[in-house]
Amino acid sequence: MSVITSPTMLANLQAREAAALLPVYRRRPVAFVAGRGSRLVDSEGREYLDFLSGLSVTSLGHAHPAVADAVARQAATLVHTCNLYYTVPQIDLAERLQATLGWPDGKAFFCNSGAEANEAAIKLARRHGKAQDPSKVNVVALEGGFHGRLLGALLLTGYPAKHEPFQPLGEWVTHVPHDDPDAMAAAVDEHTCAVWVEVVQGEGGVRPVPAKVLAAARDACDRVGALLVCDEVQTGVGRLGAWYGWQRTGVVPDVVCLAKALANGLPIGAIVARGPAAEAFAAGDHASTFGGNPVACAAALAVLDTIAQQGLVEAAAARGAHVRAVLDRLIRDHPLAVGARGDGLLQALVLDRPMAGDVVTAALELGLVVNDVAPDAVRLAPALTIGEADVEEMAIMLHRALTQVETQAEKAGHDEQGLRDRGRTA
Ligand SMILES: Cc1ncc(COP(=O)(O)O)c(C=O)c1O
pLDDT per residue rounded down to tens, the chain (426 residues): 568 899 999 999 999 999 999 999 999 999 999 999 999 999 999 999 999 999 999 999 999 999 999 999 999 999 999 999 999 999 999 999 999 999 999 999 999 999 999 999 999 999 999 999 999 999 999 999 999 999 999 999 999 999 999 999 999 999 999 999 999 999 999 999 999 999 999 999 999 999 999 999 999 999 999 999 999 999 999 999 999 999 999 999 999 999 999 999 999 999 999 999 999 999 999 999 999 999 999 999 999 999 999 999 999 999 999 999 999 999 999 999 999 999 999 999 999 999 999 999 999 999 999 999 999 999 999 999 999 999 999 999 999 999 999 999 988 887 777 777 777 665
Tell how far the Cα of 19 is from the centroid of ligand 1, in angstroms. Answer: 27
Cα–Cα distance for residue pair 265/64, rounded to 1 Å: 11
- Look at residues 306, 393, 401 and name the one whose alpha carbon lies nearest to residue 355: 401
Tell how far the Cα of 219 is from the centroid of ligand 1, in angstroms. Answer: 26
Through-space distance between the first and last CA atoms of the chain, rounded to whole angstroms: 60
Q: In what order do the strands lie in the sheet with 255-258?
A: 107-111, 269-273, 255-258, 227-231, 192-197, 138-142, 173-176
Tell how far the Cα of 198 is from the centroid of ligand 1, in angstroms. Answer: 11
Q: State the closest ligand 1 atom to the C-alpha of 235, by its place in the atom list counted from 1.
A: 1
Cα–Cα distance for residue pair 133/191, rounded to 1 Å: 8
| pLDDT at residue 82 in the model | 95
What is each CA distance from 394 to 315, 366, 369, 389, in whole angstroms? Answer: 17, 10, 9, 9
| pLDDT at residue 414 in the model | 76
SS3 state of residue 217: helix
- Look at residues 268, 256, 287, 239 and name the one whose alpha carbon lies nearest to residue 74: 268
Q: State the closest ligand 1 atom to the C-alpha of 150, by its place in the atom list counted from 1.
A: 11
Q: How crowded is residue 182: how many other Cβ atoms within 10 Å of its Cβ?
A: 12
- Look at residues 368, 365, 364, 373 and name the one whose alpha carbon lies nearest to residue 346: 373
Cα–Cα distance for residue pair 281/297, rounded to 1 Å: 22
The residues, any chain, with a CB within 8 Å of residue 412's CB and separated by 6 or more, are none
Torsion of CA 313, 314, 315, 318, to 10 degrees: 130
**Ligand 1 contact, 147 CB (< 6 A):** yes
Per the CB < 8 A criterion, the answer to whether 277 and 128 are in contact is yes
Cα–Cα distance for residue pair 96/101, rounded to 1 Å: 8
Nearest Cα residue to atom 8 of ligand 1: 114
Cα–Cα distance for residue pair 107/112, rounded to 1 Å: 17
